[in-house]
């Protein structure tokens, strides 16, 4: 009996060790950004491509108010309600005292400056594909934006989803920086892939998710139910989206569809972002969408 108990104890210790290794936060190396020179001018383009204002500014904000990133938007999901935090330049309520590495760890590893896991409602599962140069440039641009002292609201997430360490297991399953669409792509299509799969995180809404909230990469951009429980995100693969590239570019520019309808809901905020991008970037996204494998 003593040998059996010793064996079981040993298994438990090994199991806890494996769990700790799998679930512990894995930040970037301290020198990961060595040699990168920040460019705030380019960082503004990263800001709009990444959709920062769409979540972290007030949903009704217009003009310069879009640059006040005080958070507060609520995102309802089956796992709880997540509230966008303050990412303004305030050193206490926001991220004003964050380093470049702090932002890089948050965006590509989902790790806070304190070493805790972020919930994947923050789309680091997509931002993981972003270049570290773009992250550094974005940090430089964010430093030029207004500070706001509004405190971030706590996330409304219950047990067991409020156990942050368990998010390490989620990352083990789903945090994957490989491209979804591969093959022989033109430079424009590669640029569109970068904008759509990384910075623009299109898959976060338009890709179906499994029971644990992971994106089903085999059904990339095939649409799925809105987490709040009302409506569906549309399928934007060639199986359903029969618009021409010019139609897609027009939609990303003006918000108007070929049927003279217009973007609504959160997609209207996305279009506000894409209007700030160079015309060639909107064309690149359109070219990429035509290369996505059709999925029902």
Using one digit for the tens of pLDDT, what is the confidence trace for 117-165? 999 999 999 999 999 999 999 999 999 999 999 999 999 998 888 888 8
Helix (H, G, I), strand (E, B) or coil at 156: strand
In order of 57, 86, 150, 173, 289, the CA distances from 92 in angstroms are: 18, 10, 9, 33, 41
Q: Quickly count helices (H) and strands (E) in the chain.
A: 12, 4
Predicted confidence (pLDDT) at residue 22 exceeds the cutoff of 70: no
Predicted confidence (pLDDT) at residue 16 exceeds the cutoff of 60: no
Instruction: Read off the pLDDT band of 254 (50, 70, 90).
Output: very high
> 111 exposed, middle or buried (CB, 10 Å; 0-12, 13-18, 19+)?
buried
Using one digit for the tens of pLDDT, what is the confidence trace for 63-75? 899 999 999 999 9
Using one digit for the tens of pLDDT, what is the confidence trace for 73-102? 999 998 999 999 999 999 999 999 999 999
What is the reported pLDDT for 120? 94
First to last CA, the chain: 57
Using one digit for the tens of pLDDT, what is the confidence trace for 214-252? 999 999 999 988 887 788 999 999 999 999 999 999 999
**Under a CB-based contact definition with an 8 Å cutoff, are residues 121 and 155 in contact?**
no
**CA quadruple 111, 68, 123, 292: dihedral positive or negative?**
negative
CA gyration radius, the chain: 20
Show Cβ contacts of residue 255 under 8 Å, excluding neighbours closer than 6 positions. 262, 263, 268, 271
Residue 123's nearest CA partner among 274, 270, 290, 275 is 270
What is the reported pLDDT for 92? 97
């Amino acid at each position: 009996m003593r040998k059996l108990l010793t064996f079981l104890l040993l298994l438990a210790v090994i199991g806890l060790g494996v769990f700790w290794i799998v679930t512990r936060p894995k930040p970037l190396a301290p020198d990961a950004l060595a040699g990168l020179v920040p460019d705030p001018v380019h960082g503004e383009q990263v800001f709009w491509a990444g959709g920062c204002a769409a979540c972290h500014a007030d949903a009704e904000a217009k003009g310069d108010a879009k640059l006040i990133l005080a958070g507060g938007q609520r995102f309802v999901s089956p796992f709880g309600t997540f509230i966008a935090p303050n990412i303004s330049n305030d050193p206490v309520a926001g991220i004003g005292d964050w380093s470049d590495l702090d932002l890089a760890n948050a965006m590509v590893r989902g790790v806070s400056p304190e070493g805790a896991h972020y919930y994947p409602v923050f789309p680091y599962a997509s931002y993981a594909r972003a270049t570290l140069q773009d992250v550094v440039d974005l940090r430089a641009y964010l430093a030029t934006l207004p500070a706001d002292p509004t405190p971030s609201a706590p996330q409304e997430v219950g047990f067991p989803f409020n156990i942050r360490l368990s998010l390490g297991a989620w990352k083990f399953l789903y945090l994957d920086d490989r491209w979804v669409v591969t093959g022989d792509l033109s430079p424009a299509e590669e640029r569109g892939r970068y904008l759509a799969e990384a910075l623009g995180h299109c898959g976060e809404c338009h890709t179906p998710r499994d029971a644990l909230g992971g994106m089903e990469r085999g059904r990339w951009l095939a649409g799925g139910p809105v987490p709040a429980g009302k409506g569906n995100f549309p399928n934007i693969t060639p199986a359903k989206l029969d618009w021409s590239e010019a139609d897609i570019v027009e939609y990303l520019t003006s918000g108007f569809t070929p049927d003279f309808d217009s973007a609504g809901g959160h997609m209207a905020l996305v279009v506000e972002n894409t209007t700030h991008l160079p015309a060639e970037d909107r064309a690149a996204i359109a070219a990429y969408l035509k290369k996505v494998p059709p999925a029902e």
